[in-house]
Amino acid sequence: MLGQTYEGQDCSAARALELVGERWSLLIIRDAVFRGTTRFADFQRSLGLATNVLSARLDRFVAAGLMERRPLTNSKYDEYVVTEMGLALKPVVIALTHWGHHWAGGPPGVFKHADCGGPVEQQLVCTRCGESVAPDEVTGQRGPSDPKQDPVRAA
């Protein structure tokens, strides 16, 4: 997966962005994971992007395992069904939505708990002390890298 835009970045955020960091990618994923979109024409209508770009993104998602391409019954078209790997991007979309609402003037995202219908929030939690942690109380550092995956940077 590496060897493209972010070659040399031994970081999981960079690896994620290799797969979903291109223009439109995360909005296609948003439609797939939260609006249940599967058809090319529905993605196109929702996003209004050029069909060649949409086609390239969907093909890339299929190749990477984020979506599966399946034939539609009674249609000459296929559908693009998001996989578990794609569904796991929900927290990324939620985090972007939250930030875009608070800092970029967008509408609030409405995320709900399927079981009880209550509003769902994203929280940072310390697994040692159990406290809810504000963003300015989180520090980050590189994790241990896997030398097999990136021998140059791990040296």
Residues 10-39, interacting with a second copy (CB under 8 A): 10-19, 21, 23-24, 26-27, 30, 33-35
- Of 94-133, binders to a second copy (CB under 8 A) are 94-129, 131, 133
Shortest distance, position 139 Cβ to a second copy, whole Å: 5
CA-to-CA separations, 83 to 63, 68, 69, 89, 146, in angstroms, rounded: 12, 7, 10, 10, 26
* Cα 124 from Cα 91, distance rounded (Å): 12
Q: How many residues of this chain bind a second copy (CB under 8 A)?
A: 85
User: Sign of the C-alpha dihedral, residues 29, 33, 34, 37?
Assistant: positive
Q: Which stretch binds a second copy (CB under 8 A): 37-45, 55-63, 71-79, 134-142?
A: 134-142
34 within 8 A of 43, measured Cβ to Cβ: no
- Of 62-81, binders to a second copy (CB under 8 A) are none
Beta bridge partners of 64: none
Token reading at 43: 């993605």
- Vertex 27, ends 41 and 61: CA angle to 5°? 75
The residue among 48 and 71 lying less far from a second copy, judged by its C-beta, is 48
Q: Which stretch binds a second copy (CB under 8 A): 37-45, 55-63, 67-75, 91-99?
A: 91-99
The residue among 71 and 105 lying less far from a second copy, judged by its C-beta, is 105
One-letter amino acid of 42? D
Shortest distance, position 77 Cβ to a second copy, whole Å: 24
Shortest distance, position 79 Cβ to a second copy, whole Å: 19
Shortest distance, position 84 Cβ to a second copy, whole Å: 8
Angle between helices 25-34 and 90-103 (to 10 degrees): 110
